A and B are shown apart, each in its own frame.
Chain A
Amino acid sequence: MGKTLFEKIWEKHIVKQVDGGPSVLYIDKHFIHEVTSPQAFTGLNKRGIKVFRPTQTVATADHNVPTLNQHLPIKEELSRLQVEALIKNCAEHGVELYGLGHPFQGIVHVIGPELGITQPGMTIVCGDSHTSTHGAFGAIAFGIGTSEVEMVLATQCVMQSKPKLMRINIEGELNKAVVSKDIILYIISKISASGATGHFVEYSGSAIRSLSMEARMTICNMSIEMGARGGMIAPDETTFNYIKGKMFAPQGAEWEQKLNYWKTLYSDGDALFDKELFIDAAEIEPMITYGTNPGMGIGVTQKIPTVETINENDKSGLQKSLTYMGLQEGAPIKGQKIDYVFIGSCTNSRIEDLRMVASFVKGKKKANGVEVWIVPGSKQVEKQAVEEGIDKILADAGFQLRQPGCSACLGMNEDKIPAGKYCISTSNRNFEGRQGAGARTLLASPLTAAAAAITGVVTDVRELLN
């Protein structure tokens, strides 16, 4: 019997199988950031041990950094101490740090791929649930807790039970103005915020094949939002072309050797999955969420479900969600007034996202009373945006281009949405209070978010396109 993409990689990384328990899984690349690593370093220091393989860990500061005036000392004391702890820990343990001010600094899941650190066939972990992003390259990538960060620092391994495997096939051509964010919001709305719990998901089909690497990353990024341990896509020419020439990509003879290996990384025709779903790309329209988990999404032209029409998974939580959101059962979502627009996060802050927004808003102005924050995923994305003149287009539209970080996706820094305000956001979570206590989040694609910025209300972006 054939093997799945997941199994081909998983099996090569098993150091040891524990009787009646998990596998000891070897980790090729480990990303760390300031929020979930300090306690892990404290653990190492208590044990009197050093990082086992320091060259296999890369650090950046992203979750808790300001997105304005990054050249100045961080004002908020606890945030500053946390970033300083990262600097000290990396220096003491010989870990490469792309901290504030470094030309490679940025959101951990943006910089790994753009530097060529993320490669097919790898195992990649980080103390962040959106580590699933790196699966877009055909890697096994997943989020871990701080105890596991400590394990990887100490031994380059984690202990994991093999997950079940699910494949989601999306075939056909995408409709106009439907982008990868809409695909993943659609999938989650179909299977719910817990529909893939216990599984690792492989995305396949012609609609996935046609996507760029950045678009694929958006899809894999949100795998966790349906409970999946991770998501992955088999590498192909699009993947290889993306990686080639990147700073840490293999070169010369090593490139050829790796490429030959990477080309073997796909699910065999007779490989078996525990669960398989089929989706027609033509069914998908621009999506938006109305509730307080990412599975509560609808097409932008649809009405908010009622207790009678909603799927079983969200039935009991509907009223609580809508009360929090200040929305009504059965009402249209289109036309809902918004106060803030946030375009950023590890889901949608890459150069293609910024290009998509810029090409749409060129020559347009934001609506009065709407605050628009564009937070690039990395210093490199920011630099590219300036080189392409995207910064000027955004400024002319009244959008504020900030500096790289996780920002209002989780509101750890000062970028918070005030209580009761509506924010259309390209991030990944619409949980209560996620963007600030009392903040009301509507998840959407960069295109749908940009359209709302122009009109001041939830808008079907197709109506504004020629």
Chain B
Amino acid sequence: MRAIKNIKSCFVPLPIENVDTDQIIPARFLKATTKDGFGKNLFRDWRYENNDESKPKKGFVLNNPAYKGSILVAEKNFGCGSSREHAAWAILDYGFHAVVSSFFADIFKNNALNNGVLPVQVSEGFLQKIFAQEADAELAIDLEKQKITICNTGEEEAFEINAYKKTCLLNGYDDIDFLLSIKEDIEKFELVKTY
């Protein structure tokens, strides 16, 4: 997995609540057997008229050249619905390395963390401050210090992440590497489990 330390970038605002994983990557694109290439279909049906790449929807933020950067900022309950990890793969493949919201759906959060996409949970108030920024405003995310800053104003907020996951992200470790390293413990557990 790719490591994350600091991210400083402009952001793409998506002020919509309950963005579900069917919007992030519609089911018809889940037929691939690899993890690559999902970015071009990220938010497919919000991006294009009638599924036609030559007809981008003007009002949708990914089609607005004023907004760019590696941070996506969305309203609450981002990533709800289906457990499809393809949603995290699509976000990463498109070029986002962090998603900021006032809270995330549980499965999406795990999937993001398992792919080196940092979910940054901020207060509703701080989220609105971010949305109030101009298009070229930058955000700085410091994973080591667990802090997100609006660069123009200097306003900052701390965010939570458990210590284990933080170590994984800072070093690019996978959960699966860790689990394989404790296989003996798992085998012992199987012999003594009490049910």
**Also in contact, A24 and B179, with CB within 8 A (given A35-B30, A429-B22):** yes
- Asked if A261 is an interface residue, CB under 8 A from chain B, the answer is yes
* CB interface residues, A 17-36, toward B, < 8 Å: 18-22, 24, 26, 35-36
**Also in contact, A82 and B31, with CB within 8 A (given A26-B186, A227-B106):** yes
Question: Contact at B83–A127, with CB atoms within 8 Å?
Answer: yes
Question: Contact at A16–B22, with CB atoms within 8 Å?
Answer: no
In whole Å, how far is A142's beta carbon from the nearest beta carbon of chain B?
A: 8
User: Which of A143, A229, A431 has the largest number of chain B CB atoms within 10 A?
Assistant: A431
Q: Give bound CA distance, A438 to B46, whole Å.
A: 11
Question: Contact at A145–B186, with CB atoms within 8 Å?
Answer: no
**A432 to chain B: which residues have CB within 8 Å?**
22-23, 45
Question: Contact at B182–A16, with CB atoms within 8 Å?
Answer: yes
Question: Contact at A36–B85, with CB atoms within 8 Å?
Answer: yes
Q: Give bound CA distance, A43 to B50, whole Å.
A: 35
Question: Contact at A412–B23, with CB atoms within 8 Å?
Answer: no
- Asked if A307 is an interface residue, CB under 8 A from chain B, the answer is no
- Asked if B33 is an interface residue, CB under 8 A from chain A, the answer is yes
- Asked if A148 is an interface residue, CB under 8 A from chain B, the answer is yes
Query: Could you say which of A144, A154, A410 contacts B179, with CB atoms under 8 Å apart?
Result: A154
Q: Mark A119-144, 1 if CB is under 8 A from B, else 0.
A: 00100000111000000000000011
- Interface window among B62-70, B109-117, B130-138, B141-149: B109-117
**A437 to chain B: which residues have CB within 8 Å?**
26, 45, 50-51
* CB interface residues, A 317-332, toward B, < 8 Å: 317, 320
- Interface window among B2-10, B12-20, B92-100, B150-158: B12-20
Interface size on B, residues (CB 8 A): 56
- Asked if B194 is an interface residue, CB under 8 A from chain A, the answer is yes
Q: Mark A96-140, 1 if CB is under 8 A from B, else 0.
A: 000000000000000000000000010000011100000000000
Question: Contact at B186–A144, with CB atoms within 8 Å?
Answer: no
Q: Give bound CA distance, A227 to B176, whole Å.
A: 26
Q: Mark A146-176, 1 if CB is under 8 A from B, else 0.
A: 1110110011111101010000000000000
**A317 to chain B: which residues have CB within 8 Å?**
16-18
Interface size on A, residues (CB 8 A): 71
In whole Å, how far is A336's beta carbon from the nearest beta carbon of chain B?
A: 23
Q: Mark A422-447, 1 if CB is under 8 A from B, else 0.
A: 00000001011110011000000000
* CB interface residues, A 229-267, toward B, < 8 Å: 229, 261
Closest A residue to B32 using CB positions = A78
Question: Contact at A320–B114, with CB atoms within 8 Å?
Answer: no
In whole Å, how far is A456's beta carbon from the nearest beta carbon of chain B?
A: 27
Question: Contact at A144–B107, with CB atoms within 8 Å?
Answer: yes
**Also in contact, A15 and B182, with CB within 8 A (given A36-B84, A36-B85, A411-B28):** yes
Q: Give bound CA distance, A79 to B28, whole Å.
A: 10
Q: Give bound CA distance, A143 to B115, whole Å.
A: 17
- Interface of A (DSSP majority class): loop
Question: Contact at B186–A15, with CB atoms within 8 Å?
Answer: yes
Question: Contact at B163–A20, with CB atoms within 8 Å?
Answer: yes
**A159 to chain B: which residues have CB within 8 Å?**
164, 175, 178-179
Q: Give bound CA distance, A158 to B106, whole Å.
A: 14
Closest A residue to B22 using CB positions = A431
Q: Mark A358-395, 1 if CB is under 8 A from B, else 0.
A: 00000000000000000000000000000000000000
- Asked if B40 is an interface residue, CB under 8 A from chain A, the answer is no
Question: Contact at B164–A19, with CB atoms within 8 Å?
Answer: yes
**Also in contact, A12 and B111, with CB within 8 A (given A21-B162, A433-B45):** no
- Asked if B82 is an interface residue, CB under 8 A from chain A, the answer is yes
Q: Mark B67-99, 1 if CB is under 8 A from A, else 0.
A: 000000001110011111110100000000000
In whole Å, how far is A94's beta carbon from the nearest beta carbon of chain B?
A: 18
Q: Give bound CA distance, A201 to B155, whole Å.
A: 37
Question: Contact at A320–B16, with CB atoms within 8 Å?
Answer: yes
Question: Contact at B179–A129, with CB atoms within 8 Å?
Answer: no
Query: Could you say which of B17, B18, B88, B164 contacts A22, with CB atoms under 8 Å apart?
Result: B164
**Also in contact, A64 and B162, with CB within 8 A (given A36-B83, A129-B81, A193-B18):** no
Query: Could you say which of B22, B76, B186, B194 contacts A433, with CB atoms under 8 Å apart?
Result: B22
A-B residue pairs in contact (CB < 8 Å), sample of 11:
A12-B194, A35-B31, A78-B32, A79-B31, A81-B33, A82-B33, A143-B107, A147-B85, A151-B179, A157-B186, A410-B22
Residue positions of A touching B, CB distance < 8 A: 12-13, 15-16, 18-22, 24, 26, 35-36, 38-39, 42-43, 47, 49, 52, 63-64, 78-79, 81-82, 85, 121, 127-129, 143-148, 150-151, 154-159, 161, 163, 193-194, 197-198, 224, 227, 229, 261, 293, 313, 316-317, 320, 410-412, 419, 429, 431-434, 437-438
Other than the given A145-B110, A155-B186, A198-B106, 16 more pairs (CB < 8 A) read A15-B182, A20-B162, A78-B31, A144-B83, A145-B107, A146-B111, A147-B175, A150-B176, A154-B180, A156-B190, A193-B80, A194-B105, A293-B20, A293-B80, A429-B81, A432-B23
